[in-house]
Amino acid sequence: KMKYAEQGNESFIPTNLRLGGGYEFIFDSSNSLSATIEINKLLVPTPSEEVYNSSGDLIAYRQPDISFLSGLFKSFNDAPDGFSEELKEFTYSIGLEYAFNDSFFLRSGYFSEHELKGSRKFITAGAGFITNDLKIDLSYLISTSDVISPLENTLRVGLAYAFD
């Protein structure tokens, strides 16, 4: 657990379990298409202790005071509405990548999170280019959720250089 502010409570460090796979369709020596899928589960316990103000209003939930390892295992069976709610805690991602000569790439993807667990839903589009030592990536994120997100309409730029 980690304390993020001097007066704040300790919170569990985000830990994820990710399972995924992909397949590359090779059309010829210059063209290929890769398809991927990923399932993700946050491995921290659900905050369960309700905190009320002096007026009796619910203002927050407190994390249980248990160890990291206990929290990791508890995260699989602690949802208030049982197993059906545990399934809502998974996020899903799919992606496609077209590659030309292993140097130019076009990408698209989709990310989905249940409405009760954050309601993040995004479509992404991007492109990449690789030369001998330089890699450039661009992507654009479009929210498809009804909930306003600070990530809406985000343009991301990645630059990498390989020192040989």
pLDDT digits (tens, 9 = 90+) for 35-45: 999 999 988 87
Q: Does CATH place domain 2-161 in 2.40.160?
A: yes
Query: What are the sequence ranges of the domains in the chain?
Result: 2-161
| Cα dihedral across residues 61, 64, 65, 70: positive or negative | negative
- Cα 48 to the center of its chain, rounded Å: 23
pLDDT of residue 59 exceeding 70, the answer is yes
Mean pLDDT to the nearest integer, 100-125: 94
Alpha-carbon gap, residue 148 to 96, rounded angstroms: 26
Q: Answer whether residue 130 shows pLDDT above 90.
A: yes
28: pLDDT strictly greater than 70: yes
d(CA 129, CA 155): 16
pLDDT band at residue 33 under the 50/70/90 scheme: very high
